[in-house]
């Protein structure tokens, strides 16, 4: 019995002595844990030192490449683009552009179209991303140019012509295929625009949907009308703007006509004969604009001016790409008369001049005027153009108008863009206004757009 008590006391004493030790081990605090912690701290300091050393021995290009590899969100790439712009490193900037064009081309283009920071950088980045995207995915890029609300009608002509001119050198059929996908109205406007070169016009002429226009263009290029579905023969794919003796003679001829007509206006027959003898579309356009501008000496009233335009264009059988005058405060009466006259003219003439007239108006006034234009397709395109420009220039006013007056389709297209442009300038005001709007698909899209910026 005595031995059992001795054994019990020894066991109790040993357990009491080792209890704190087992508790420390249980909680990860072994007798050697402090030593381990010290070793880990030294290892971490060593790793930090190695990282600092590696950063020192890496070149600027290698450091940039590490940053580029780690930048996989739209915001991180946009920030890196600003850094390369401030560093004035074109090679690195092109690398960022390439990655943006690969991962977020449409989103980046819409961001730079809003002009949120340096204007020169925004324009340069917009063009660089478009060029890179057109090389990576031609079809998707041209669909964006043809349909996205941030691209105005005039920008559509410019970018379509510019990108297609680059593409046609190696892939001419791609240009024809995309041109065929455009609406007849856009084909007509594009082929008649001043941004279409002779070479590109010759390439696309056989694909024009409007048969009378196709025949007229083909005839002017001396291409056989019997093969409208084929590409022009190789000898036609030359640059019609190439300087040469005949081209210089035409330049001199047009200069002489301009000087002559500045003194005395030609009659309709003389004007028609002169236009028929000039091959260059841009030179014909320049002469027509000069000839059909309002005359101040002797004074010409607006109605007489408009009658002269109608008679002259009927004789020449050619429509100018833009209205024949830039209206100032002194000549605004002609602009007012032209706004009343244009909706009664042909849809083709309305298409050619409407955007220019609307661009001079306050957006709300322009939208009212557009309702008087002839065709639904033209009214829709014009409203889209005005709403897109308004959303970027005065986003808070545009958002209020779109929410109250636009169609459901227009709201879904333009409201997110207007709110996003507004949020880039004043996030709190834009968010407060958007929260107060009734629930709708457009509101949801706008909320998602500003939440992801």
Q: What is the pLDDT of residue 227?
A: 38
Q: What is the pLDDT of residue 82?
A: 86
Provide the pLDDT confidence category of residue 226 given band limits of 50, 70 and 90.
Answer: very low
Q: What is the pLDDT of residue 117?
A: 66
Residue 256: inside a domain: no
User: How many residues are there in the chain?
Assistant: 453
Residue 245: inside a domain: no
What tokens does 176 get?
């024809």
Residue 274: inside a domain: yes
Closest CA to 141 of 152, 132, 133, 150: 133
Number of domains in the chain: 1
- Digit-coded pLDDT (tens) for 308-329: 999 988 888 777 877 887 777 7
Residue 273: inside a domain: yes
- Digit-coded pLDDT (tens) for 68-110: 888 888 888 888 888 888 777 888 889 999 999 988 898 889 8
Highest mean pLDDT among 269-278, 362-371, 376-385: 362-371
Residue 272: inside a domain: yes
- Digit-coded pLDDT (tens) for 126-176: 989 999 999 888 888 988 888 887 787 778 888 888 888 888 888 888 888
In order of 33, 35, 48, 51, the CA distances from 45 in angstroms are: 18, 15, 5, 10
H and E: helices and strands count for the chain: 25, 0
Whole domain around residue 276: which residue ranges? 265-280+301-318
Per-chain mean pLDDT for the chain: 78
Provide the pLDDT confidence category of residue 399 given band limits of 50, 70 and 90.
Answer: very high
As a whole number of angstroms, the distance between CA 347 and CA 38 comes to 83
Provide the pLDDT confidence category of residue 60 given band limits of 50, 70 and 90.
Answer: low
As a whole number of angstroms, the distance between CA 290 and CA 273 comes to 16
What tokens does 77 get?
């790439």
Residue 329: inside a domain: no
Residue 196: inside a domain: no
Neighbours of 196 (CB within 10 A): 24
Counting beta carbons within 10 angstroms of the beta carbon of residue 341, is it exposed (0 to 12), middle (13 to 18) or buried (19 or more)? middle
- Digit-coded pLDDT (tens) for 172-222: 888 888 888 888 778 877 777 666 666 777 788 888 877 777 777 777 665
pLDDT higher than threshold 60 for residue 231: no
Among residues of the chain, what percentage have pLDDT more than 90?
A: 16
Q: What is the pLDDT of residue 240?
A: 36
Counting beta carbons within 10 angstroms of the beta carbon of residue 67, is it exposed (0 to 12), middle (13 to 18) or buried (19 or more)? middle
Question: For the chain, how long is the longest CA-to-CA vector?
Answer: 142
Model confidence pTM above 0.75: no
As a whole number of angstroms, the distance between CA 133 and CA 105 comes to 7
Counting beta carbons within 10 angstroms of the beta carbon of residue 159, is it exposed (0 to 12), middle (13 to 18) or buried (19 or more)? buried
Q: What is the pLDDT of residue 418?
A: 92
Residue 314: inside a domain: yes
């Amino acid at each position: 019995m005595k031995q059992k008590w001795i054994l019990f006391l020894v066991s109790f004493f040993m357990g009491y002595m080792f209890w704190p030790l087992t508790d420390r081990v249980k909680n990860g605090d072994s007798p050697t844990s402090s030593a381990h912690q010290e070793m880990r701290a030294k290892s971490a300091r060593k790793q930090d030192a190695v990282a600092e050393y590696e950063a020192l021995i890496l070149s600027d290009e290698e450091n940039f490449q590490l940053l580029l590899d780690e930048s996989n969100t739209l915001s991180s790439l946009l920030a890196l683009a600003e850094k390369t712009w401030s560093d004035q490193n074109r090679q690195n900037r092109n690398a960022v552009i390439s990655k943006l064009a690969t991962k977020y081309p449409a989103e980046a283009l819409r961001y730079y179209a809003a002009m949120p920071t340096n204007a020169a950088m925004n324009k340069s980045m917009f063009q660089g991303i478009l060029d890179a995207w057109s090389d990576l995915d031609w079809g998707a890029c041209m669909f964006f140019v043809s349909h996205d609300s941030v691209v105005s009608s005039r920008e559509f002509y410019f970018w379509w012509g510019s990108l297609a001119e680059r593409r046609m050198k190696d892939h001419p059929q791609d240009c024809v295929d995309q041109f065929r996908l455009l609406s007849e109205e856009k084909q007509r406007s594009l082929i008649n625009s001043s941004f279409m070169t002779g070479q590109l016009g010759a390439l696309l002429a056989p694909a024009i949907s409007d048969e009378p226009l196709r025949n007229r263009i083909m005839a002017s290029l001396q291409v056989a009308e019997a093969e409208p579905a084929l590409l022009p023969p190789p000898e036609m794919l030359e640059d019609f703007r190439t300087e040469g003796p005949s081209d210089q003679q035409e330049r001199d001829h047009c200069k002489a006509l301009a000087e002559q007509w500045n003194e005395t206006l030609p009659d309709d027959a003389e004007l028609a004969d002169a236009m028929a003898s000039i091959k260059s579309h841009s030179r014909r356009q320049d002469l027509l604009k000069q000839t059909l501008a309002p005359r101040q000496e002797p004074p010409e009233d607006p109605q007489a001016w408009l009658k002269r335009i109608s008679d002259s264009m009927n004789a020449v059988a050619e429509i100018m790409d833009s209205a024949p005058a830039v209206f100032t405060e002194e000549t605004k009466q002609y602009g007012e008369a032209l706004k009343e006259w244009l909706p009664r003219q042909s849809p083709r003439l309305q298409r050619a001049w409407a955007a220019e007239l609307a661009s001079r108006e306050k957006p709300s006034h322009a939208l009212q005027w557009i309702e008087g234009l002839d065709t639904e397709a033209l009214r829709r395109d014009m409203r889209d153009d005005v709403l897109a420009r308004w959303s970027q220039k005065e986003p808070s006013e545009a958002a209020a108008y779109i929410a109250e007056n636009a169609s459901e389709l227009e709201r879904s297209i333009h409201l997110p863009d207007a709110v996003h442009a507004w949020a880039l300038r004043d996030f709190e005001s834009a968010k407060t206004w958007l929260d107060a709007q009734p629930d709708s698909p457009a509101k949801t899209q706008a909320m998602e757009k500003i939440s992801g910026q």
